[in-house]
Structure 1
Amino acid sequence: MTEVSSLTGRLLVATPALADPNFDRAVVLLLDHDAEGSLGVVLNRPTPVGVGDVLLPWAPLAGAPQVVFQGGPVSLDSALGLAVVPGEARDGEDADPLGWRRVHGAIGLVDLEAPPELLAAELGSLRIFAGYSGWGPGQLEKELVEGAWYVIESEPGDVSSPDPEQLWRSVLRRQRNELAMVATYPDDPSLN
């Protein structure tokens, strides 16, 4: 079996060639990636459902827009909380707050069963996702070879973008290579 280099914490940005409507212009943050498969959430699919409509205790901590995001096509009836906690973990110290598990850098998963008061003072931002995006062993690697995704370094602000509908373009635009040009790709190339 070949070793899989972990992409945990990176963004998968859908290429214009990706034909799956679930991922059209999607920006996916990978929360886990190893030989067993991959799991992530789509960062730029806000729904009309307010956080207070489904998880009222967490609503005051949710960043704008205070809506639930569709994290992907898998398990839409489950919720995932993703939050940024400013500051870095220190070697030898358990610096992560209770109810939060670091995924990458300042980004981590929130235990939505925990009392929100545990994290209220620590969170920089919170997003709630319905469902997730998942890939079986080798599936994502195959899609990468086929050119379905750009792999880009994430920034903590990507999780809490106040304008999630523009995240695909803004993530591509900040690249210092030919990917910045892809941000100008028309929504419907046949109208070009």
Structure 2
Amino acid sequence: MDIKTLKSKGERGFLDGHFLIAMPGMADTNFARAVVYICAHSDQGAMGFVINQPQQMTFVDILLHLKVIGDEDAIVLPDAARSMPIQRGGPVETGRGFVLHSDDYLTQSSIPVSDEICLTATVDIIRAMSRGKGPAKAALMLGYAGWGAGQIETEIANNGWLTCPADETLIFDRMLDGKYNRALALMGVNPAMLSMEAGHG
């Protein structure tokens, strides 16, 4: 199941444009202390991106791997491109890159995921970003998180996730450390209290 299929259904699931915030007792280690932005949700399933797990790979590494730039070009990259963190978007298709970005930059393959945010998974946007001509706000992920029909609803019912409306500022915040606690703060939840409550379950 991919985002085009989910979006083409024309349905908006109740989790579209929401964060999933992993509970302390999350059994799946892929999602320990994860904050997931859900891009598409329908009765067919759900797709989203973890927005707070760093990758070892750098943006320069990706540009060199895709042959967008040569070694000699790496030193003249714009600072914004050089400092962009690469995130682990989820455990599915981890070799594939995805860019969540503001809607001020679009290609023919860009898919709107909300009124202000788009998803593009082609090299064009990487090339534009390397020249400082890409979107004003962007987050680059390798891989994504996906759930089959009814799976995410079951996980929420089993107390695996908290949910709240997504916050664009948090999605594009490059400071990945502490993003989990900041997501909980959107809900007025103190992480220490959450841990205590989980311990009494």
Would you say same fold, with TM above 0.5? yes
Q: State the shift of 1:133 in Å.
A: 0.7
Aligned to 1:98: 107
Instruction: State which of 68, 76, 79 in structure 1 corresponds to 2:97.
Output: 79
1:184 deviates by 5.5
Q: 1:49 to 1:127 in 2, by over 3 A?
A: same
1:181 Cα deviation after fit: 2.2
Paired residue for 1:148? 160
Per the alignment, do residues 5 and 32 of structure 1 end up closer, same or farther by CA in structure 2, a change over 3 Å counting? closer
**Alignment partner, residue 134 of structure 1:** 146
- Deviation of 1:162 (Å): 2.5
Q: Which moved more, 1:31-40 or 1:122-131?
A: 122-131
Structure 2: how far apart are the matches of 1:151 and 1:139? 15
The one-letter amino acid of 1:113's match is: V
CA-atom RMSD, angstroms? 3.0
Q: 1:47 aligns with which of 47, 52, 55?
A: 55
| Secondary structure in 2 matching 1:114 | helix
2:27 paired with 1:23: no
Q: What does residue range 114-133 of structure 1 map to in structure 2 within 5 Å?
A: 114=124, 116-117=127-128, 121=133, 123-133=135-145
Tell me if structure 2 keeps the 8 A contact 1:40–1:133: yes
Match of 2:178 in 1: 166
Amino acid at match of 2:183: V
User: Per-residue CA shift, 1:165-186, capped at 9, x if unaligned?
Assistant: 211101111324xxx2236656
Describe the shift of the 1:64–1:52 C-alpha distance in structure 2 as closer, same or farther (beyond 3 A).
Answer: closer
Deviates more, 1:109-118 or 1:17-26: 109-118
| Counterpart code for 1:165 | D
Q: Measure, in 1, the Cα distance between the counterparts of 2:177 and 2:102.
A: 20
Give the CA deviation at 1:55: 3.0
| Deviation (angstroms), 1:158 | 1.7
Secondary structure at 2:135's aligned position in 1? coil
- Name the SS of the counterpart of 1:128 in structure 2: strand
Distance 1:50 1:160 in 2: 17
**Alpha-carbon distance in 2 for matches of 1:154, 1:64:** 27
* Conservation of the 8 A alpha-carbon contact between 1:65 and 1:162: no
| Cα separation, partners in 2 of 1:60 and 1:36, compared to 1, 3 Å | farther
Contact 1:172 1:183 (8 Å CA) reproduced: no
Return 5+ residue gaps in structure 1 as ranges. 87-95
Provide the rounded CA distance (Å) in 1 between the counterparts of 2:124 and 2:51: 23
Q: Normalized per residue, which structure has more helix?
A: 2
**Which residue number in structure 2 is paired with residue 32 of structure 1?**
40
Q: Which residue of 1 aligns with 2:18?
A: 10
